[in-house]
Amino acid sequence: MHDWASIGPQIFNGLVLGAFYAIVAIGLSLIMNLTGTINMAHGSFMTLAGYLAYTMVLRGTSFWFALIAAPLICVIVGIAVERTLVRPLYKREPFYSLLMTFGLSLMAEEAYRLIWGPNGVPFSPPGALAGATSVGFMTFPAFRIFIAVVLIVAIAALALFLTRTRFGLRLRAAVQDTEMIAALGTNTQVLYAVNFGLGIFLAGIAGVLAAGMLGLAPTSGNALLMPAFVTVIIGGMGSLFGSIVGGLLIGLTISLTTLFVPAASEVSMYVLMAVVLMIRPRGLFGEEGIFG
């Protein structure tokens, strides 16, 4: 039987993994909810952030600086993409944005291969975060604790932004009724751009952290993309809280099946998604009507 010393850390790993899925899913959701855009290039932005951070650290900046700067650069790229490529598709069905961003992800993957090489690059967390702490008979890597903290702070900051700031309220109102908001004078073009940028910023943070935890290669981001979509489905389209719950649920499911039934670990999340889609397609906390 498994020793109980490994279950605790495994649950912790599952929660950290889940937090990753949650934050990527939230970014995806933000973009999807407002404009119906399905961003298959979300993973590419994550990878970009990882590579940018890697390059910055290589050039001598601190990890902490890169952690903020890389996502910000991604936001600039993201807004440029939104204005030129995503905006023309707002009037069309979501499938078009899915296809277009898929093409974009192909281009990005190759570009990364050309610039940084086809194999992974090493990206280790700074010395301060290496090592582990012990709690009783269980050990937890310090970097993962750090990741958990950052992700929780990011999600909390987002929640505050959406509920306490004027812009955040406008954003939420626009998701409900874009026409009304436009009629009341809000510049919807700016809203769309900022919303997209926000989603990319979250992806960027996740990307830098994932690079440190899971490694960095041209296809890194895509590995987190599918689970993020599954999270959005299970948690419910249109519900950011659902993304959090869904993400944690999936993270735990994967890590625990890895422990007990390793062969089924990747499949488990897809089985879960298929079940949810059959029984309650709007997800655990989703609203009826988004995408039917």
Partner 1 sequence: MSARGELIGAAIVIAVLLFAPFLSPLIHLDVSIVSEVLVMAVAAMSVNLLLGYTGLPAFGNAAYFGLGAYGAALSVKYFQVDFVAAVVIGTLAAFAGALILGPFLLRRRGIYFGLLSIAFGQVFYFIAYRYTDVTGGEDGMNFPRPPVALAHVQVKETAFYYVALAVFVAALIAFRAVVRSPFGRTLVAIRQNEVRVRYLGLNSDRFIFVALLIASAMAGISGALFGLLINFAYPLQLDWHQSGDFVLMMILGGGGTLWGPLLGSFIYVLGKDIVSTITPLWQIFIGGLFVACVLGFPRGILGTIEQRLRRAPGTFTADDVNAAFDPNAPVEVGRGV
Shortest spacing between CB 106 and partner 1, in angstroms? 4
Q: Is 122 helix (H, G, I), strand (E, B) or coil?
A: coil
Closer to partner 1 at the Cβ: 67 or 104? 104
Nearest to 93 by CA among 29, 174, 38: 38
CA-to-CA separations, 190 to 76, 93, 162, 182, 186, in angstroms, rounded: 14, 21, 16, 11, 9
Shortest spacing between CB 47 and partner 1, in angstroms? 14
Closer to partner 1 at the Cβ: 38 or 49? 38
The dihedral sign for the CA sequence 208, 213, 217, 223: negative
Q: Which residues, in sequence order, are bridge partners of residue 216?
A: 121
Shortest spacing between CB 30 and partner 1, in angstroms? 17
Question: Is there a contact between 41 and 219 (Cβ–Cβ < 8 Å)?
Answer: no
Shortest spacing between CB 264 and partner 1, in angstroms? 8
Residue type, 262: P
Closer to partner 1 at the Cβ: 114 or 153? 114
Closer to partner 1 at the Cβ: 173 or 290? 290
Tokens of 245: 């719950």
Shortest spacing between CB 161 and partner 1, in angstroms? 27
List residues binding partner 1 (CB under 8 A): 38, 85, 88-89, 94-96, 98-100, 102-111, 113-114, 226, 229-230, 233, 263-264, 266-267, 270-271, 273-274, 277-278, 281, 291-292
